[in-house]
Chains A and B, each alone.
Chain A
Amino acid sequence: EVQLLESGGGLVQPGGSLRLSCAASGFTLSSYAMSWVRQAPGKGLEWVSVISDSGGSTYYADSVKGRFTFSRDNSKNTLYLQMNSLRVEDTAVYYCGKLGRSSTHSHADYWGQGTLVIVSS
């Protein structure tokens, strides 16, 4: 059974940093591209980033480009989202998603339960 478990969320001040983790199990992580999306309280889904199966390619939404870094350690079955220079508007539940294939241009077929990030002074 595919499982994605996000962690690392919490309360942080504007300008601060957080690192989210996503522990993957039940599938061969190295065979799939992965993604992060977020959802601000009471709002819709916003795509954040995608990483290729090897980690060699990453892409970001303009809203986080230059501040967030998506990486993966396939040997540890774990993905990371390093978030720097956090802003109030980054407050959201962050979901880790498994894509349907190795290509970054794919739908996500599984999502974790999410981790809440609150950016506030």
Chain B
Amino acid sequence: DIVMTQSPDSLAVSLGERATINCKSSQSVLNSSNNKNYLAWYQQKPGQPPKLLIYWASTRESGVPDRFRGSGSGTDFTLTISSLQAEDVAVYYCQQYYNIPFTFGPGTKVDIK
């Protein structure tokens, strides 16, 4: 199984400041045949289902604010929130969908400082 790790476990950022979450996979999730990284980012607020933010590692889902940016390739990925807003308080998960089982990272909790 591909093991997904995230860092940090939690972070507190001032409103308007940048938040950076890292995700690492135990093996590459890059499909060389189509040059796509099979990596998604989800946001989950308390009592709500996950919400898709980013797929193919860097493609923003329709309707997601452009302050959310995904980057990285192979085994190392980053979700950046360029200017944290109050509504961004949530847990963020990365997930690989390259190999079954499609494993999630343990999550990173983002709070306001």
Check: B65 CB closer than 8 A to any chain A CB: no
The reply to whether A105 and B49 contact each other, CB–CB distance below 8 Å, is no
Interface of A: prevailing SS: strand
With the chains together, A46 CA to B105 CA distance in Å? 9
12 A-B pairs whose Cβ atoms sit less than 8 Å apart in the complex: A44-B91, A44-B93, A44-B107, A45-B107, A47-B102, A47-B103, A50-B100, A59-B101, A108-B50, A111-B50, A113-B49, A114-B49
Check: B89 CB closer than 8 A to any chain A CB: no
The reply to whether A44 and B98 contact each other, CB–CB distance below 8 Å, is no
Check: A106 CB closer than 8 A to any chain B CB: yes
Q: A108-B52, A113-B49 are in contact. Are A45 and B101 (CB under 8 A)?
A: no
Contacts of B48 in A (CB 8 A): 113
Q: How far is the CB of A37 from chain B (nearest CB, A)?
A: 8
